[in-house]
Amino acid sequence: MFKEISAKEIKDNLIKAISEEWMLVSAGDQKGYNMMTASWGFAGEMWGNDSVIAMIRPQRYTMEFVDKSDYFTLSFYGDNKEIHKICGSKSGREVDKTALTGLSPVFSDGTVYFEQARMVLICKKQYVGSITEEGFTDKEPLRWYAEKDFHKMIIGKIEKVLIK
């Protein structure tokens, strides 16, 4: 059973949770949704709101749902990397990731998350913009973009935090 807390009550080190535990970025509704593993992102204060930035490459299927939706979620699963092996390597265009992972979708607040999560951030999309090659003052990170498929940054206002 989830309990709602404020973003400022999160006890986790979100830098560690995102980079080491990883997360699912999810968007959509009962008519269609997708989720993907992510290990890059940010959390902090933006425009007077507790906010996150999710990073999604434009060709990812999840990006189609984020583009169509007003809300998205970031969800965390502890040390369960099996979910991430599937959601980080398979496309929802080709397989049913929900069936492969055994995740149980919950449709609430205009988006989707999964019952198995230990923590869920429900976020209202506020800004979507692309990283550009011209913006790099340090060229070293360009090694991540051999295909020139620069991530989109999705800034979301954290509207709810659900924990177990």
Number of CB atoms found within 10 A of residue 144's CB: 12
Identify the pLDDT of residue 96: 94
9 CB-near residues (< 8 Å, 6+ apart): 161
Identify the pLDDT of residue 5: 98
Q: How far apart are CA 7 and CA 161, in angstroms?
A: 6
pLDDT tens digits along 106-154: 999 999 999 999 999 999 999 999 999 999 999 999 999 999 999 999 9
Identify the pLDDT of residue 15: 95
- The range of the structural domain enclosing residue 24 comes to 3-163
Task: Give the CATH number of the domain where residue 129 resides.
Answer: 2.30.110.10
Tokens standing for residue 158 = 């954290």
pLDDT tens digits along 13-62: 999 999 999 999 999 999 999 999 999 999 999 999 999 999 999 999 99
Q: How much of the chain, in percent, has pLDDT values that exceed 90?
A: 98
Identify the pLDDT of residue 32: 97
Q: What letter would DSSP give residue 149?
A: -
Into how many domains does the chain fold? 1
Please report, as a single letter, which amino acid is at residue 85. K
Q: What are the phi and psi torsion angles at 143 (to 5°)?
A: -60, -20
Q: What are the phi and psi torsion angles at 22 (to 5°)?
A: 75, 175
pLDDT tens digits along 144-159: 999 999 999 999 999 9
Number of CB atoms found within 10 A of residue 16's CB: 9
Contact by Cβ (8 Å): 75, 87: no
